[in-house]
Amino acid sequence: MLLDPGSARLSPASSPFLAAARRQQLQDRVPVWFMRQAGRSLPEYRRVREGIPMLESCARPDLVAEITLQPLRRYGVDAAIFYSDIMVPLLAVGVELDIVPGRGPVMAHRFAGEADLAALRPVEPTDVGYVTEAVQILVRELGEVPLIGFAGAPFTLASYLVEGGPSKDYARTKSLMVGDPELWDALCRRLADISAGFLAAQVAAGASAVQLFDSWAGSLSAEDYGRYAQPYAARVLQRMAELGVPRIHFGVGTAELLPLMGAAGADVVGVDWRLPLSEASRRIGPAYAVQGNLDPALLGAPWPVLAERVRAVVRSGALAPGHIFNLGHGVPPDADPAVLGRIVDLVHEEGPKLRREAGAQPADGRGSP
């Protein structure tokens, strides 16, 4: 399973990914990884997952390690993302749920009131021993390649609990948060502690960075995000600051929320495909690196057209204090792995030249102009 026989003797401390996360625009490497790079688009993933339910696959350290490593072997990306699901910590503390193929997370019982808070206790290390074991395996095998731990942000977790599953309009969620702000506060504080505990377990086992996914934050106005979501994301990210690892904060449809998402405590703000990275960086300011943001819907376009879009993302990201190339959302299940491999090669081979041509800031460790 080792990527390189000598990788266990190496450290990710000087990796291009971590440098970019710390606002250092390296001149010789543009780091790249893909959200959902380990998953349904890979035939090797489908083979090892055959007949194994999603949540069970997340609880088997050997399988977690194998799936996490698959895109590293195939693409040579600059970071690995821990294979898990944002529902795992809720399941670990006793919430009854399932991930239904074709639908997503479904709760056995919707969160309905104060009585349901009792089920949401903090995550203890003993609750997620399989996570610790899997991360330890991966850190040994990844060597100099960083491992990103991840968790769901409180607003997104709350939306699943309150709605009972996926939703198009989050009507129940929004009604609760504005109609009973005290209950909403109690719910989100508990979810923040659950997410923070889940991330802390990954960092303690050796993860080099974390990403907080607020997948549905884009359904909120900036005012509502600032009042009902940002404080709880900040509670998670502050805990990670105490652990000393770079923090990535990402949501979909969040162009109007980016400054608030950065202010919640991010080092890197993930940007979806709706806004150029240069404009995103202008909005959030020089204290943050950016991640993104090729539109995943374009992966099926003819290669010459797609390649120009990739180059445009690199050029736009060059104007930020730090840039990690990624998609603007996760890899679609029908994506051609060969296309993703070509994107990685293009970013690695042409990225430094494109960055110089765009006038990227030199790496000074401060992210200053």
The owner of tokens 């995000």 is 225
Q: What torsion, rounded to 10 degrees, do the Cα atoms 176, 180, 181, 184 define?
A: -50
Of 45, 75, 83, 160, the active-site residue reads 160
Rg over CA atoms, the chain: 19
Residues contacting residue 181 through CB under 8 Å, at least 6 positions apart: 228
Residues contacting residue 199 through CB under 8 Å, at least 6 positions apart: 149, 150, 151, 207, 210, 212, 236, 239, 240
Structure tokens given for 224: 């509502």
Concerning whether 36 is annotated as a catalytic residue, the answer is yes
Q: At what angle do helices 129-142 and 61-75 cross, to 10 degrees?
A: 30
Q: What torsion, rounded to 10 degrees, do the Cα atoms 323, 324, 329, 333 define?
A: 150
Of 36, 74, 190, 355, the active-site residue reads 36
Task: Decide: residue 118, CB within 10 A, 0-12 exposed, 13-18 middle, 19+ buried.
Answer: exposed
Of 29, 60, 85, 295, the active-site residue reads 85
- β-pairing verdict for 209-214 and 247-251: parallel
Of 22, 23, 45, 49, the active-site residue reads 49
The owner of tokens 């990210």 is 237
**What does each C-alpha distance from 199 to 69, 202, 320 come to in angstroms?**
19, 5, 27
Contact 142, 9 (CB under 8 A): no
Task: Decide: residue 283, CB within 10 A, 0-12 exposed, 13-18 middle, 19+ buried.
Answer: middle
Nearest to 245 by CA among 65, 62, 82, 98: 82
Positions marked active-site = 36, 40, 49, 85, 160
